[in-house]
Amino acid sequence: MDGSTGNSIKLRVIKRTSYGLGFLLHNDEVNHACVISGLVPGCDAERSQLVTIGDRLSAVNGVNVETLNFQQVLAVLDALPVERPAVILLKGPLNCRIQVVTYYDSNGTPRTRRITEPLTLTAAQNGHPIASCPVVEQNGEHRNGVEVSAEQLAKFNRDLQERLGKIEEMMQGLLNLNASAKKEHGKVMDDDVFEAPRPSPPSSFGGDRERQVQQQLHARDRRLSSAILDGGFSGNARTAARRRSFMTAPNGILSSHAIPSKTGDLSEERPVKDGSMVNSQHTRLGPRSSAALDAEAHHHLSPQPSPSHIKKYIKLKNLLDGKTFVDTLHRSTAQSVGCTANRCTASLLNLSRPQNSLARSTEEVLLLAKDFIRQYFESAKRLNTPAHDARWAEVEAQIHATGNYEFKEQELTFAAKSAWRNSQRCIGRIQWSKLQVFDARFINTPRTMFEALLNHIKYSTNRGNLRSAITIFKQRTTPEQDFRIWNAQLVRYAGYKQEDGSVIGDPASVELTEVCHKLGWKGSGGRFDVLPLVLSAAGQDPEYFDIPRDIVLQVAIHHAEYPGLAEMGLKWYALPAVANMVFDVGGVFFPAVAFSGWYMQTEIARDFVDPTRYNLLEVSVIFQSFEFLDLEGGLRANDVACR
């Protein structure tokens, strides 16, 4: 009934890191369906106004989920790649009909609205020509309870031929667009739905392959035409020639189609943008083991492009000096980064990955280690040499014996520099090749850890001419034996919480300041007290160590044009040394790492004016200094003050 009444809607939804697809599912055991029970406020699905509570999930990326149980459906959804669009087909509530209307507002902007109507009329009363066809059943009873007249039959034939002509025009347009897309991108669409998976087409098309594809497309056109003819005149119109209305939203371009299907199965849309088409595969999934389901879902929900369309390298231009160099590392990553050719998600901070608590299997460690060793020897132009084979055999033996392996010093240096180079969120990574790597894996006590970090601070500060550096302590063997730096930064100011809830100093350091007090440290209670380093080795209790004041370079804050700023007595430390991040490389975790680079002026300004930090934007001296600010527009004032 759904297919004949247009009770389905197809749309593209991007799976987000924070809230997934944006809707909640409920297992309707009575109707054997997965029903949407809620929408995440502010998500893409809610803002589109095309998804409503009560919709039934029918297909995901061409995978029919109506035959799967609830747990299998969840496995299919979990396998969807993050920050990439997924094609979701929904069926409306029972006994309802969905219509998608696209219109233009007063500004000429296209708007889309979904209309869900209850079915109060029969198909014949709603004006479906096939359903209202006065065909007599073989048992002599009339389908619609009325006599068949020649005039009614002639009218039905005219309506049917008119609809068939429109469908043929549409199919011819699809054929023309497909040929255009094939010429531009070398892609050929296959419209077979819910069939067993087949190998991907070859990267290049010869004459035989091209003729074969054209034959398939023409056969598809003939099947669609014969479906309506057979259904209209054989008395099987209600089951053989079903119509379905659905919508697609490829990158904001909305279109509505009504495509007949001989079997009534779900047909994949072919959204068109800039003369190209989107291709996807479909698989019929029946009841099977969850392992097989996960493997097949991962294969079909993550389509791989043809090898002929994957560039082996890209050219990167340094805007400072105008030099161009070739980069290939991003093509050889062993893990998905969530980016596509048209969408970059590198700047998104993925907080859902608990890197510090991951436990990897031996197989995972082997995979990541092999990829790292390959990158290391490839960088030295010694790939597949006897030295490469011997080193990999050594690493493989260590992993099988202990579940872990040790880096050589040169490998650790290469790993640290490559990690900085591949850190998408860091704008200072242009200096990756000049990173100084301090190998501190031989250290076993908190005291020697403290001495190594003092050396790091001295080297990086360099009397104000800052140098980038990283200090790496022992890798993880078991989580209970971790080495840890408890500070978020090597140098940071304390935060003292008062009885009235206010904070003197940096509010971001209140928790660590309380830990230091419990360990016996006593601060002066000022706004700019440098916290001690809190360190623990081999899973032992933490110890604190005061940093000598003479090695901490601090800068008084003033401005030539705004003398009132100097009167506030502000200062800040010069060295930004991050100490609360895990170094994850080659399948090995290093939980205690200190990395330092340089500050940007906006970073320090944000530390002063953010409400969760020193929150100084509303201080009267600030407003007197920045007289040009809009005092009532806090957001604008914050933005200007940070420039």
E runs forming strands in 107-258? 110-118, 245-248, 255-258
Q: How far does Cα 296 stand from its chain's mean position?
A: 20
DSSP string, 3-21: HHHT-EEEEEEE-BTTTBT
**DSSP strand pairing (56-60 vs 63-64):** antiparallel
- Which tokens sit at 193? 């739905």
Nearest to 66, CA basis, from 244, 260, 286: 286
**DSSP strand pairing (571-573 vs 577-578):** unpaired
Q: Residue 63: enclosing H or E segment and its boundaries? A: strand 63-64
- Alpha-carbon distance 547 to 529, whole Å? 11
* Residue 499 φ then ψ, to 5°: -65, -30
- Which tokens sit at 220? 């598809």
Structural contact between residues 82 and 16, judged by C-beta atoms closer than 8 angstroms: yes
| Helix, strand, coil % over all residues of the chain, rounded to 5 | 35, 20, 45
Residue length of the chain: 643
Q: What 3-state class would DSSP assign to 142?
A: strand
Q: Which of 117, 296, 392, 426 is catalytic?
A: 426
- The amino acid sitting at 592 is A
- Alpha-carbon distance 544 to 446, whole Å? 9
**Cα-based distances in Å from 594 to 487, 547, 610:** 10, 15, 25
- Alpha-carbon distance 367 to 346, whole Å? 23
- 476 included as an active-site residue: no
Structural contact between residues 258 and 243, judged by C-beta atoms closer than 8 angstroms: yes
- 426 included as an active-site residue: yes
Give 251's DSSP letter. Answer: G
**DSSP strand pairing (583-585 vs 588-590):** antiparallel
* Residue 594 φ then ψ, to 5°: -120, 130
Nearest to 247, CA basis, from 269, 274, 279: 269
Q: Which of 12, 270, 429, 492 is catalytic?
A: 429
Cβ neighbours around 625 below 10 Å, total: 19
Structural contact between residues 149 and 135, judged by C-beta atoms closer than 8 angstroms: no
- 34 included as an active-site residue: no
End-to-end Cα spacing for the chain: 61
b/e burial code for range 53-85 (CB count within 10 A of at least 16 → b) = eebbbbbbbbbbbbebebebbbbbbebbebbbb
- Which tokens sit at 227? 């479906």
Q: Which of 392, 432, 521, 598 is catalytic?
A: 598
3-state secondary structure 362-427: HHHHHHHHHHHHHHHHHHCCCCCCHHHHHHHHHHHHHHHHHCCCCCCHHHHHHHHHHHHHCCCCCH
- Alpha-carbon distance 486 to 474, whole Å? 15
- Alpha-carbon distance 66 to 79, whole Å? 17
Nearest to 482, CA basis, from 397, 586, 358: 358
Q: Which of 210, 364, 409, 603 is catalytic?
A: 603
The runs of H, that is alpha helices, within 58-131 are 70-78
- Alpha-carbon distance 147 to 160, whole Å? 20
- 572 included as an active-site residue: no
Q: Which residues are catalytic?
A: 426, 429, 598, 603
